[in-house]
Structures are given as C-alpha cells and as structure tokens.
Chains A and B, each alone.
Chain A
Amino acid sequence: MLKVIELNLSYGAIHTLKDISFEVHEGEIVSLIGANGAGKSSILNAISCLVPFSSGDIVFLGNSIKKTPPHQLVNMGIAQVPEGRRVFSKMTVLENLEMGAFIRKDSAGISSDLENVYHHFPRLKERRRQLAGTLSGGEQQMLAMGRALMSKPKLLMMDEPSMGLSPILVQEIFEIIKKVNKEGTTILLVEQNAQMALSLAQRAYVLETGRVIKTGLGAELLQDEDVRKAYLGG
C-alpha cells in the first residue's frame, strides 16, 4: 500500500533521514520505533508532504506522491494524527471533527462516521459543544484521532499517540487503534513507547539516527536482545 524508497531528507546541514526504506501492506499495523531524534516524525511529515525530501520516493497505492500538494493527500486516503495532537483549540469538539471531514461531500456518510467516532470515544460526544482547548490531554488525543478518522482514511498515520498520557489512557488509546485497524484501516504508528508499539504492531522498523537498523515482526523484536537493551529497559 505504502512504499518508502531510499528516502533522504535534510534540514539545512543536518541530514535527518538516510536512505530510509520501508513498506506498509494493506490491513497491517506497522510501527516505527526509535529514540527521540531518530527521525520518526520527519518520516511522517515527508509522507504528508509537509516537508520536501531531497531524494528517494514515496509511493502510495501505486502512485508517487512526491509532487502532491499537501492538502490533496487526505483526498488520496492518507490521514495523520500529528505529534502533540494539534487540535484546533479555539474551535468546538464538533467543529474539529467537521474539519476532519473537510474534503467530503457525502453528508449521510459524514454523519454515520461521526456516530462511529462517538461510539469509539463516548467522551467526545458528551463534550461536543466544548472548545477543544479545554479538553484534557487524553481527550485531545481522542479528538485528534477522531478528527483523522472523519476523513475515512485508507492509511492512518499516528505520531506518538501515547505522549504525555497516563498508562491507563495509553492502554485505552491502543485498544482503539486495534479496533480501528480491525474495521479495515491500515495503520502506521510512530512511537517512543516501544513496548506498547511492538505488542500492537504486526511488523516494526527500528530507527536510529535517521537509519533503519532492524526490522521484523513485532513479537520477534519484543524478544530481540538489542532492542530490549536499547528501548525496553533490558
């Protein structure tokens, strides 16, 4: 479904991504794990066409997205839950969700998807008239996810969904990711919480300073000696 081919990206003199290649197949949950600064978020931003990359290619459903204007990406079926949630804090919860469905014109489909989002996140329904800025961190994460789901993506990219959340909330968010995946959305998950990410993902790639250093099944990597030492606390 998604193929990243020898991607290179630099911010000024800093070479952030070095020949990154990986693949996501339809229906999978694939995780990119690695320490802070390994380049995980840069990969997602490159796929979202928010930052230009210097060489390599990104192919989604057989088409290169190298020259796509960023606002057309969601039309192709890619949605991103950005790092730090980035909800529109001065807009209501409902308006945030409507923004997620911005490109859609099928109002019947939109309202049934809205019900579906409320079904996954009942808290959002209770707070739909509230400004998003007044939500707690966990609720904002749910809103950011719900907003991305409102575009009915084929591929959902999530950037550090566990950041700043309590272990119970992280558990809850990961349960929902699993459910969303079962309903047919392919998921690319970027995480520092390697334990959670690896137990959820079918496959994973381990990144270190802008390179893929290891790849394998999630369950395998969870047992891998080096990965355990570096990311799972021994």
Chain B
Amino acid sequence: MTLFFNQLINGLHVGFIYALIALGYTMVYGIVKLINFAHGDIIMIGAYTAVITLVSLGWSTPLSLLAAIVVCVVFGITIERVAYKPLRSSPRISSLITAIGVSMLLQNTALLVFGAASRPFPTIFNIEPVRFADLQISFVTLLTIVVSIALMVLLQTFVKTSKAGKAMRAVSEDYNTALLMGINVNNTITLTFAIGCALAGIGAYLYIMAYPAISPTMGSLPGLKAFIAAVLGGIGIIPGAMLGGILLGVAESMTKAYISTQLSDAVVYGILIVVLLFKPAGLLGKATREKV
C-alpha cells in the first residue's frame, strides 16, 4: 500500500506540472484553433532563464522565477504576433506547420547559443520531507501541488468572472460576433498567449526542480505529454486540461511502479488512443451540434 500511495503522490506531482503546461495548449487552441507546437519549447526557454538568472547571475529564487515568467510571456506574445497572426485567415494547416517551424527554430537557436550539453539545476529548497505515517512527501512535491491548484483556481475564476475572461470565452466561441460586441479580438488573443506562457514559465520552474537537467530539447517531452493531456481532457476546455494532466501523470507513475518503466510512455499513448476511440472529443468534451 505504501508503494501505491507513494506512486500516487509522484504521479500527482508530475501530473500537475503537465496540467499547468496543458492549460497553455488548451487556451490557445480554444481561442485561435491552433495547436501551438512551440509551447513545449517555451518550457525550455523558461528553464534556461531560470538557470541563468539563478546560477550565473546569482539572483534570488523569487526574482529568477519572475524573470522566467516574464521571458516566457515575451517570447509567447512575440511568436504569436510575428508567426501566427499573419496566418490567422489562412488554412489551419499553414499555422500548424508554422508552429512546428517555430518549435524547431527555438530548439536550434538554443542549441547554437547554449550548446548541446545539459546544465544542472541546483537544489533550491533543502527542506526535510513531510511524513505521514509511512509516507514521505518531498517539499517540492507539496509545493508543486499547492501552487498548481492555486493557479488553476485563479485561472478558472478569472475566465469565469472577469470581463477580460468573458471576452476570451466570447472570442473562442465566435470571432466575428465578438468583434460586433466591440471586443478587441487581437488584444484578447495576445492576453491568452500571455497567460498560457506565464503558466508555462511557472511550470518550467517546477519541472526543473523535479528533473534538474536543462537542455535545448528538454521541452519536447513534457510539451508532448501536456498536449496529450489537453487532448485527453478535451482540447479547448480548461478543466479538461487539468483533469487530463493529472490523470496522465498518475497513469504514468503507476505504470512505472506496477508494469514496466520502459513501457510507461506506451501506456500513456495507449490511454489516449483508447479514450479517443470512445470519446473523440476528450473526457470532458461534448460532441456539439450547431443550432440553426
């Protein structure tokens, strides 16, 4: 039983990180119907910003976290304005290919600037793990879970109740009608990218506290997993991304414990395939028909 609960907690740890990243995918998809394949590389950018500010420049942890968030947001907004916005009225495949191109551009630029060798990330918190009976929960795990839950509640409140959040929902549902309401659609899209990338910045920080190796291609795997999480929960649906991320993390860590470490990714992709066979719109997605 101890093994089970330990793995559950490990799964939640990584699952909440996937969920934070998945929110960026799902929000962007919800509003511009684009799978932003460069989103995973935003994690990498956040990670390099973190290690450079914290280690090379000697900044304090909060300051370097803030730097990671700001740099991720700036990159996200710039990518949207330069690469995606000019293609907004072209066929969707064009922007999809552009997103893949942006991802390659970011990875290879990082390779050129930072080299291929991975950099370690120092341990920030030297705090004793918390004990519950037989269970040990590391401080980083607790921190990740608490921060993620707080961010998700905050995001959900923002989208549900604030004026800008309602505008985001309106734009995601009907672009032209949102324009008729006087909503500045461009600013709303920028805001969506900014929020997604800010979450990715925080996610990057939490990710390298758990997996402290920073390299130019490090964003691909968590990016892909988070994308799967978003699809699993129902792409475009915010609570779906949260649910998908957590489920994926737990499934992955349970597979590692009870089935096989090597097979864990195969199981994750297998779950996606099975879910999509029975619920093509994802777990929380509804197959909607338009009313005319």
A27 at the interface (CB under 8 A from B): no
Interface size on B, residues (CB 8 A): 19
Residues of B near A48 (CB, < 8 A) are 179-180
B86 at the interface (CB under 8 A from A): no
Mark interface residues in B156-196 (1 if CB within 8 Å of A CB, else 0). Answer: 00000001001101100110111111111100000000000
Residues of B near A99 (CB, < 8 A) are 166-167, 170, 178, 181, 183
B291 at the interface (CB under 8 A from A): yes
Inter-subunit contact A71/B169 (CB<8 Å)? no
Inter-subunit contact B173/A90 (CB<8 Å)? yes
B112 at the interface (CB under 8 A from A): no
Task: Tell me the bound Cα distance from A91 to B178 in angstroms.
Answer: 13
Residues of B near A74 (CB, < 8 A) are 180-182
For chain A, residues 110 to 139, give those with C-beta under 8 angstroms from any C-beta of chain B. Answer: 133, 137
Interface size on A, residues (CB 8 A): 29
A84 at the interface (CB under 8 A from B): yes
Inter-subunit contact B292/A79 (CB<8 Å)? no
Quick one: given A50-B176, A84-B292, A86-B174, are A91 and B169 in contact (CB under 8 Å)? yes
Quick one: given A86-B174, A102-B163, A133-B291, are A79 and B180 in contact (CB under 8 Å)? yes
A89, A102, A147: which contacts B167 (Cβ < 8 A)? A102
Inter-subunit contact A82/B182 (CB<8 Å)? no
Quick one: given A70-B179, A102-B163, A102-B167, are A88 and B185 in contact (CB under 8 Å)? no
A34 at the interface (CB under 8 A from B): no
A50, A71, A90: which contacts B184 (Cβ < 8 A)? A71
Inter-subunit contact A82/B177 (CB<8 Å)? yes
Inter-subunit contact B292/A88 (CB<8 Å)? no
Residues of A near B169 (CB, < 8 A) are 88, 90-91, 95
Residues of B near A39 (CB, < 8 A) are none
A100, A133, A164: which contacts B181 (Cβ < 8 A)? A100
Residues of A near B292 (CB, < 8 A) are 84, 164
Instruction: Supply 10 A–B pairs (Cβ within 8 Å), ascending by A.
Output: A70-B180, A71-B183, A71-B184, A72-B182, A82-B176, A84-B292, A88-B174, A99-B166, A102-B182, A140-B291
